[in-house]
């Protein structure tokens, strides 16, 4: 096993020799009585004491180095590399300095050692499709869209292991751009925010939810379409979002001449265009027009082999976005609404409302939804077999599709549709990070940010283990999940 190392002056400062010193029993006893100190934080402090002792055996100082050596976990890098059993990785200045197996990396003088034996580590997720700013407890309204609400939602994403989220086309006003600018300067501890600003559609034909509808820009001429793209580019959006859907014949669909103008203008400014699509015929024409990605699977029919091959051959990204459709297949509230992990961020009254939505469903509607969903699963399996660029996108932030937790469920649904756990993790980490130009996220390899999830169990054995979150580290710093949970639902 060769050691991956990151060439950096920070690493060069360290003499890679192992210093071993006995733990100070009195200090250890005092720390054990601090019941609220999380396991990993306690381990870091204890190992720091062990590594910083003096020759006389006096009480050891705190670590003199900012480096930490994590050892013992199964490491899933987010790439197509095999996981590393009994791994070791060195973190300093918020970055991964080297990766190998336990015993291959020595502990720098004055650094802390963290024992992760029995755990699994993997990169934080990168989600290409969410909607921030609208839900505040039981209220779902554009009036909720404030800086405080958006930051709260970013905290929720981080809590569940999402390190970056694209808010896809429902961001009117300045708030999202101000937050993104603040994050570029210094705003640690929450998911990184990317945005499409305001998406483009036919007038009043954007998002389906009434609260989101006004966020889209309605265009009726090529001049309006190109002007709208220029305005978005001037604001520095990360992607352009379009809606090409008639909502079951209830609204006008964005016409081909308009989305062709949008795609042409966006590409002239190096901006990818992501389309909300429903019909197979529209998907085929959008591919011809040069679209870069689909925010949903085709849902009016199973995707044909020519359509699947056109998507794969043109390197078009696809977000399966299974969760909302799968939800329609249940006549009764699904078990996951009682998941203790979900209840750590969602108060009981919101859970009660979510459960009540299932009471209005008829058996006929559930049967129709189940048939449609099975079609989507087969389409996703075909796309995966063809080598299409599948990426995580869960439409979280639509009412009661909970920030971060919805992404975890989406991974489980992707595996149920035929992807392997490793393929699914790649689709949720390194691949979307690369497509979005997030060069420092999505991988646990030397030189990348030390932004990772610590799990009690291995999701490669069962993707449901993705919910067994023990800790989150962002830029090398532990996220205080206990404080966030207390803020949302109490201690």
As a whole number, mean pLDDT of residues 111-130 equals 97
Please state, rounded to an integer, the average pLDDT across all residues of the chain.
89
As a whole number, mean pLDDT of residues 335-361 equals 96
As a whole number, mean pLDDT of residues 348-372 equals 95
> 4-118, which class in CATH?
mainly beta
pLDDT band for 73, please (50, 70, 90 cuts).
Answer: very high
Q: Is the pLDDT reported for residue 287 higher than 70?
A: yes
Q: What is the model's pLDDT at position 491?
A: 78
Share of residues in the chain with pLDDT > 70 (%): 87
Alpha carbons 239 and 212: distance in angstroms, whole number? 18
Alpha carbons 34 and 41: distance in angstroms, whole number? 11
Q: What is the model's pLDDT at position 3?
A: 62
Q: Is the pLDDT reported for residue 26 higher than 80?
A: no
Share of residues in the chain with pLDDT > 90 (%): 84
Q: Is the pLDDT reported for residue 20 higher than 60?
A: no
**Which fold, 125-440?**
TIM Barrel (3.20.20)
Q: Is the pLDDT reported for residue 14 higher than 50?
A: no
Q: What is the DSSP string of 296-335?
A: S---SSPPPHHHHHHHHHTT-EE---HHHHHHTT-SS--G
As a whole number, mean pLDDT of residues 280-305 equals 98
Helix (H) or strand (E) holding 339: none
Q: What is the model's pLDDT at position 43?
A: 44
Alpha carbons 362 and 341: distance in angstroms, whole number? 29
Report domain extents, the chain.
Answer: 4-118, 125-440
Report which of 70, 59, 35, 21 is spatially closest to residue 476, judged by C-alpha positions.
70
- Do the first three CATH levels of 4-118 and 125-440 match, i.e. the same topology? no
pLDDT tens, position by position, 391-426: 999 999 999 999 999 999 999 999 999 999 999 999
Q: Are strands 120-123 and 74-75 parallel, antiparallel or unpaired?
A: parallel
Alpha carbons 257 and 73: distance in angstroms, whole number? 53
pLDDT tens, position by position, 429-473: 999 999 999 999 999 999 999 999 999 999 999 999 999 999 999
Q: What is the model's pLDDT at position 48?
A: 40
pLDDT tens, position by position, 186-244: 666 799 999 999 999 999 999 999 999 999 999 999 999 999 999 999 999 999 999 99
As a whole number, mean pLDDT of residues 120-147 equals 97
CA angle 128, 133, 135 (to 5 degrees): 105
């Amino acid at each position: 096993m060769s050691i991956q190392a990151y060439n950096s002056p920070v690493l060069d400062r360290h003499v890679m020799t192992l210093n071993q010193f006995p733990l100070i029993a009195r200090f250890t006893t005092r720390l054990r009585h601090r019941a609220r100190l999380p396991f990993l934080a306690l381990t870091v402090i204890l190992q720091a004491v062990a590594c910083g002792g003096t020759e006389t055996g006096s009480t050891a100082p705190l670590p003199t180095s900012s480096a930490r050596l994590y050892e013992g976990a199964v490491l899933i890098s987010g790439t197509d590399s095999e996981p590393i059993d009994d791994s070791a990785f060195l973190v300093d200045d918020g970055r991964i300095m080297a990766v190998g197996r336990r015993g291959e990396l020595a502990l720098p003088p004055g650094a802390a050692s963290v024992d992760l034996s029995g755990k699994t580590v993997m990169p934080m997720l990168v989600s290409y499709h969410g909607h921030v700013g609208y839900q505040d407890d039981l209220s779902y309204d554009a009036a909720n869209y404030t800086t405080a609400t958006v930051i709260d939602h970013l905290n929720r994403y981080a809590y569940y292991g999402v390190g970056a989220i694209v808010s896809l086309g429902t961001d009117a006003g300045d708030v999202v751009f101000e937050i993104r600018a603040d994050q570029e300067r210094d705003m640690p501890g929450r998911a990184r925010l990317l945005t499409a600003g305001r998406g483009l559609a036919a007038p009043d034909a954007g998002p389906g939810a009434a609260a989101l509808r006004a966020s889209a820009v309605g265009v009726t001429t090529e001049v309006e379409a190109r002007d709208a793209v220029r305005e978005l580019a001037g604001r520095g959006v990360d992607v352009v979002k379009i809606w090409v859907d008639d909502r079951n014949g209830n609204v006008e669909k964005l016409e081909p001449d308009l989305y062709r103008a949008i795609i042409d203008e966006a590409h002239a400014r190096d901006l990818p265009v992501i389309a909300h699509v429903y019909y197979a015929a529209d998907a085929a024409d959008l591919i011809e027009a040069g679209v870069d990605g689909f925010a949903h699977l085709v849902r009016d029919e199973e995707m044909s082999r020519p359509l699947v091959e056109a998507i794969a051959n043109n390197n078009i990204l696809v977000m399966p976005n299974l969760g909302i459709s799968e939800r329609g297949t249940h006549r009764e509230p699904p078990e996951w609404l009682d998941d203790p992990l979900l209840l750590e961020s969602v108060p009981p009254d919101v859970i009660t409302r979510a459960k009540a939505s299932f009471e209005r469903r008829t058996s006929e509607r559930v049967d129709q939804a189940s048939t449609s969903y099975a079609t989507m699963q087969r389409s996703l399996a075909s796309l995966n077999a063809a080598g299409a660029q599948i990426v995580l996108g869960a439409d979280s932030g639509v009412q009661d599709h909970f920030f971060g937790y919805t992404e975890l469920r989406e991974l489980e649904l992707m595996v149920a549709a035929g992807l392997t756990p490793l393929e699914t993790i790649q689709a949720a980490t390194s691949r979307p990070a690369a497509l979005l130009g997030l060069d420092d996220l999505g991988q646990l390899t030397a030189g990348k940010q030390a932004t990772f999830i610590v799990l009690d169990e291995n999701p490669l054995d069962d993707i449901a283990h993705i919910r067994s979150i023990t800790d989150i580290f962002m830029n090398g710093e532990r996220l205080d999940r206990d404080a966030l949970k207390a803020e949302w639902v109490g201690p």
